[in-house]
Amino acid sequence: MSGEPDPKRSGINIFSALGVKKPGEECPLLPLRDLALFPHTIVPVYITYKSGIAAVEEALKRDLRLFASPLKIQGDVICPSQGDTYETGTLVRIVQHLRLPDGTYRVVLHGEYRGRIISLKKSGDHSLVRLKALGPGPRGAERRAGESEALTLERAALVRSVQKAFFQYAEFSKKVSTEVLSMADRTENPERLCNIIGNALAVKTEKKAALLDGDDPGRRLEILLEILELENEILGIQKNISGKVKSRMDKHQREYILHEQIREINRELGKDGREDEFAELENSIKEKDPGEEVLNKAGKELTRLRKLQPFSPEAGVIRAYLEWIADLPWKEGAEGGEYQGSLAEAEKILEEDHYGMEKAKERILEFIAVRELLAGTAPVSVKGPILCFVGPPGTGKTSLGKSVARALERRFVRVSLGGVRDEAEIRGHRKTYVGALPGKILQSMRKAGTTNPVFLLDEIDKLSGDFRGDPASALLEVLDPEQNNTFADHYLEVPYDLSRVLFIATANSIHTIPFPLLDRMEVIEIPGYGEQEKLAIAKRFLIPKELAENGLKDAQISFRDDALISIIRHWTMESGVRGLEREIARCARRIARRAVENGYGRSGEKSIASYKKNIKKEDLEKLLGRRKYKRDLVFKEERIGVSYGLAWTETGGAILPVETKSYSGGGELTITGNLGDVMKESARIALSYLRSEQERFRFTFKDIGKTDFHIHVPEGAIPKDGPSAGITLAVSLLSTLCGRAPKPGTAMTGELTLTGRILPIGGLKEKILAAIRNGMERVLLPADNQEDWNDLDKDLKSSIEAEFVETAPDVFKALFGGLIYGNRPKRAGKTTGTKTGKKRTPA
């Protein structure tokens, strides 16, 4: 090798000159799993087991040398003992090393010379061995062919036999690179030839370990020749078997050719079945009249399909693609024509199916009215609106979509978007992928069979994105009236017109909907129901439905109003009616069981039509068990430091009790109850406002700066956040500071500023319903929400007293009177509180 020192140079030790470990020195033992290394080779190895890692680290401390020997057993061996590895192996040098984050190593090892273990000594997690060199010895001391002695004729014949067998092995296996073949062809040195071929062979470890052993190169060549001949025989048998399998495949190919010849004969006779299939597919597409661009695309794909073999995978992909084009609705047909009914009929259907929901119904009737006015003009170009019904669960958003389809005499399709994470669920996959399909939009359009269905996108606020894309972004084109006339699905690859579709989305909250998507939709709020609304819904819809589903349709079953009101108040706590429906269903099942036990029904002697039952308030605990909701968080008596706020949640309104305690300390404020950052800021604002106005109030503390306050909002497992509890927190703090309890039965809501202003809030109806459910007699609302109050139903406004306030002193006066002020209270402004509504009798 160029640049190597002359091993015969006098006075120089060849081992120290070349940096090679002397055969008698100790070196770490590297046990290898299912691997054997040979001299004159460079191999990358991953070291993932404990003993190997310890050996590498020891070598890095020494001279980068290791003795690599294959393990005789499977798995990791901690600190190998004598007999765990083969006695022979290869001394290797670490050329490169990389420590990975998990503590393992990736090392590049260069084999130097073969050796046998003389002695083994354990050292921690690894072992140290002393070696005896095998063969010519370390690099630099090896005798080169043609430099010291000529190969004997027998040795030369053995070398050529090995080379010939190796070339045959390479031809069979197809796994040996041309570089290795070239090196084996040029090498006449038996030692180097054994190492090159041994490293390239894909044989078991024990055979390679046998090839590493021995001092005689001739014996190693014989072992190598035996291995090669055996492998060549096995590979030859495999090739023979593969040939037989291929001949069978050729037989199937011949059958295919014969079938093609028969088909050609049929074509000459005018009986071409395959062409009839293509013609039928082409006619199906033309009948749908999809437009020139789609026809051109389909024509190209059909031409490709004609040239392909029927059983080829690509032919199946193209055929499925063309069938999708033929199945999709492209132009309005007889089943999806214009609306023929009247506005009055549509209004009647909407009223029959749903109670309330005035805004949603008005919007649908407006859409129908516009269609009716444009029915006589040509062309009718009314774009389908994008409506988004937002409200708590159980308020009838999904069922309203079905009613809209019924009122418009259109097909109805529904797609649930809850938990959809993959953009391809909306836009589809490229047809080149295995099992590719269009997205949910086009799948639903094919199911509808018309270009103008009512398309419900359910739970659009539950969309989420990950590494597979953002489905909400894919919906931007679908829900944009200016773009969805050229909707592009990845599978279809041609524009599809969605402008005639009436899209309706449902959501529990608009806060989780991305703003660009929300901006494309017309939001219609579906608020929760009051007690009277729930009572009407139960009598008109829920009771007849549940009696029919539980076999009591013909029975004479009735619910008294006081029983239904009691179920609403004490067995449900919700804005919708889903829980109410469940409780009515429970009653119906209990009644059905008792009727059967008393001899009614098909197996009994009495007809179910003669069964009578009038359910009263007193019967509920026997039917439903004990009451579920007792309103334990609301105190009817006066409590110092306790005030009641109103909160909005995705499931409706909720009462928000706030408790405050004070004790001597250093002026710290402790806030507990799983509160968010905004609500914690509201508590600090409330305390800062009261400190700034302390001269006006009659505090029981001499120095607020030396008083600690602890504010707690019960039900700490439920997260709470938002600014609308600001005035509630201030009232609770003021009650504690003055030692006066606020008037009981009063709830409040409003954001408090540092200057004492009360800012407006959202979700007024849900909060009012929460106050009514929890037995509140009066609510304090921001003055800017008075118009929202006027929009509420009369039964809600008559069920509770409302007072509107503009500043914090207005609230304090309404709850404490003048008892909390000092001798000369300083008013920040004129009190502007006004009262409206009637006083409600506590539940």
What SS3 state is found at 751?
A: strand
Neighbours of 83 (CB within 10 A): 10
Query: How would you class 250 by CB atoms within 10 Å of its CB: exposed for 0-12, middle for 13-18, buried for 19 or more?
Result: exposed
Long-range interactions of 232-235: CB distance < 8 A, separation 24+: 232/165, 232/168, 232/169, 232/172, 235/169, 235/172, 235/173
765 as an active site residue: the answer is no
Name the helix (H) or strand (E) containing 501.
Answer: none
Looking at residue 841, its amino acid is T
Catalytic residue status for 724: yes
DSSP single-letter state for residue 798 = T
Which phi and psi angles does 387 have, rounded to 5°? -100, 145
Burial call 538-565: b when 16+ CB within 10 Å, e when fewer = beebbbeebbeebbbeebebebeeebbb
Please identify which of the residues 444, 566, 575, 724 carries the catalytic annotation. 724
What does the alpha-carbon distance between residue 577 and residue 306 come to, in Å, rounded to a whole number? 59
What SS3 class is residue 226? helix
Question: Secondary structure of the chain: what % helix, strand, coil (to 5)?
Answer: 45, 20, 40
Please name the helix (run of DSSP H) or strand (run of DSSP E) that holds residue 80, with its range, or none: none
The dihedrals phi and psi of 131, each to the nearest 5 degrees, come to -120, 160
Contact 65, 25 (CB under 8 A): no
Pair 559, 542: CB distance under 8 Å: no
Residue whose C-alpha is closest to residue 397's, from 340, 369, 357: 357
Of 779, 838, 787, 842, nearest in space to 811 by CA: 779
Which one of the listed residues 767, 797, 799, 813 is annotated catalytic?
767
Which tokens hold the place of 53?
């890692």
Catalytic residue IDs: 724, 767
